[in-house]
């Protein structure tokens, strides 16, 4: 009447993260690379890092493609309010009419990258100035102040 359920035996293999031997789930078989959820997550993180290293512009390109798709066919450049003030000076409608959507989006991105670079450089300069100014204040000899105040 009832047949004995077949015992599904998984493949024994070493975990590609920790190296420990494990029995792979029979349903997954040879495709299973890790022994545990923890190792599976670690492998995923490692794969993501490898992907990001090999495809450094992937997400930016996807974002720009999506933006080009959103803007395509529109007569005026949208999202003017979301642009940094320095980039609002770029005549978006003019660029759009002369060069098209791709150029508008790419020039906008170029502007953002340059602006971010300039801002981060300015922050570094401010920190350096504060540090140097602080050193000058600390180095101010107390004796000179005392000398000046005793004269009066
Ligand atoms: Zn493992």
Whether 119 is in a domain gets the answer: no
Cβ neighbours, 10 Å, residue 69: 11
Length of the chain: 152
Q: Which of 26-40, 56-70, 131-145 has the lowest mean pLDDT?
A: 131-145
- Cα(21) to ligand 1 centroid in Å equals 8
Whether 143 is in a domain gets the answer: no
Whether 121 is in a domain gets the answer: no
Residue 74 pLDDT: 75
Judged against a pLDDT cut of 90, whether residue 114 lies above it is answered with: yes
Residue 106's Cα: distance from chain center in Å? Answer: 18
- Cα(18) to ligand 1 centroid in Å equals 4
- Cα(34) to ligand 1 centroid in Å equals 5
Judged against a pLDDT cut of 50, whether residue 111 lies above it is answered with: yes
Residue 33's contacts (CB-CB under 8 Å, 6 or more residues apart) are 15, 16, 17, 40, 43
- Cα(6) to ligand 1 centroid in Å equals 27
- Cα(14) to ligand 1 centroid in Å equals 8
Task: Choose the most confident range, by mean pLDDT, from 29-33, 52-56, 71-75, 134-138.
Answer: 52-56
- Cα(22) to ligand 1 centroid in Å equals 8
What is the C-alpha to C-alpha distance for residues 13 and 22, in angstroms, rounded to an integer? 6
Judged against a pLDDT cut of 60, whether residue 3 lies above it is answered with: no
- Cα(12) to ligand 1 centroid in Å equals 13
- Cα(71) to ligand 1 centroid in Å equals 47
Q: Which of 14-23, 73-82, 132-141 has the lowest mean pLDDT?
A: 73-82
Judged against a pLDDT cut of 70, whether residue 103 lies above it is answered with: yes
Residue 133 pLDDT: 86
Whether 135 is in a domain gets the answer: no
Residue 1 pLDDT: 44
- Cα(23) to ligand 1 centroid in Å equals 11
- Cα(39) to ligand 1 centroid in Å equals 5
Q: Are 11 and 24 in contact (CB under 8 A)?
A: yes
User: Token pair of 66, please?
Assistant: 């999506």
pTM, entire model? 0.58
Determine what percent of the chain is predicted with pLDDT higher than 90: 51
Whether 37 is in a domain gets the answer: yes
Whether 36 is in a domain gets the answer: yes
Question: What total number of domains does the chain contain?
Answer: 1
Whether 40 is in a domain gets the answer: yes
Whether 146 is in a domain gets the answer: no
User: Domain containing 48: what range?
Assistant: 10-55
């Amino acid at each position: 009447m009832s047949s004995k359920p077949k015992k599904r035996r998984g493949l024994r293999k070493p975990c590609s993260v920790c190296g420990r031997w494990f029995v792979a789930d029979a349903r997954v078989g040879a495709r299973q690379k890790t022994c545990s959820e923890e190792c599976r997550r670690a492998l995923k993180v490692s794969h993501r890092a490898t992907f990001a290293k090999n495809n450094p512009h992937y997400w930016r390109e996807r974002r720009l493609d999506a933006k080009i798709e959103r803007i395509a066919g529109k007569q005026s450049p949208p999202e003017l309010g979301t642009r940094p003030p320095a980039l609002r000076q770029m005549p978006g409608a003019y660029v759009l009419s002369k060069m098209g959507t791709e150029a508008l989006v790419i020039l906008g991105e170029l502007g953002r990258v340059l602006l971010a670079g300039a801002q981060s450089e300015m922050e570094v300069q401010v920190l350096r100035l504060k540090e140097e100014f602080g050193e000058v204040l600390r180095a101010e000899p107390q004796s000179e102040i005392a000398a000046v105040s005793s004269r009066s």
